[in-house]
Structure formats: structure tokens, C-alpha cells
Amino acid sequence: MYDAGKVILGIVVFLTLVTFPLWYNLAGETVVQAPELEKAQGTQCVADTEWMRARHMDLLNDWRDEVVRDGERYFIGPDGERMEKSLSNTCLNCHVNKDKFCDHCHNFMSVDPYCWDCHIIPKEVM
């Protein structure tokens, strides 16, 4: 290999820069706090909290496909009643404050889902 020294040095510098945030956090013993989310108004969510935390996006994707593509708009909720598979109407019925629930965590995680480009936050139009 030509210029082996320069190449290896380059790779080392690159890796150091890329992994810098990791080293910085380890050295500073920074403890990252998960954001406090606003309590929901209902008694029970459609699934348990841990599962929803990890998989709510899959649930919403499934709901989306089932409602739009298969025309299956309803499910049986945890209390046995029929509920609509609806982000605006079912989810946000209990999680009334989108800013303090959805956005708070999404901002923390630096994710930007496109749900709200189209779906309506009920209180914003009321």
C-alpha cells in the first residue's frame, strides 16, 4: 500500500472524531434522563406501557395499513369495548397534549415522523 502511514493516521483520526460523543459521555459520566411525558387521561392504554414505548410506531403502521388498505377500522380495546384505530381520535383522546407527549419524546430522540403533515391534532382546529 502506498502512503500506509498517512492512510492509517487518517482512519484513526476519522474514527476518533466519529466516536467522540461516546467517549465524551463516558468520561463526563453524563446520565441521560428520559424525558418526563405527560400522564394520559384515560385509565388504560391499548397495550401496556413498556410495549407501547418500544413498538407504538409498528402499531400505528399496522393500523394505518389495516384501515386504509383492508378497511378494518375497529379493534376491541383492553376494556372489551369497540374502539377506532385512529391516531387523532383514539390515541390523542387520552394523550391530549401532543406537545408534551409525542413531540417531547420525539424531539429527545431526534425523530421526525410525518404523521402530523396530514393527521389533525383535534385541539388545534377546535
Partner 1 sequence: MGIDRRKFFKVSGLTALGLAGGSVSKVFSGEDFLDTAAPVRPEGPLTAQRWAMVIDLRKCHEQADCNDCVTACHTTHNVPKWENPKDEVKWIWKESFEHAFHDQEHPYQQESLKHLPTLVLCNHCDNPPCVRVCPTGATWKREKDGIVMMDWHRCIGCRYCVVACPYGARSFNWRDPRPKIQKIEPDFPTRSRGVVEKCTFCEERLARGMLPACVEACKYGAMHFGDLEDPHSNVRELLSKRYTIRRKPGLGTNPEVYYIV
DSSP letter string, 57-96: HHHHHHHHHHHHHH---EEE-TTS-EEE--IIIIIHHHS-
Q: Which of 38, 72, 99, 103 binds partner 1 (CB under 8 A)?
A: 72
Kindly tell me which residue out of 13, 15, 68, 109 binds partner 1, with binding defined by CB under 8 A. 68
We find the least distance from the C-beta atom of residue 73 to partner 1, in angstroms, to be 6
Query: How far is it, in rounded angstroms, from Cα 67 to Cα 71?
Result: 5
Q: C-alpha 97: how far from its chain's center?
A: 15
- Binding characters for partner 1, 21-50, by CB under 8 A (x = yes): -------------------------xxx--
- In the list 66, 94, 104, 106, the residue contacting partner 1 (rule: CB under 8 A) is 66
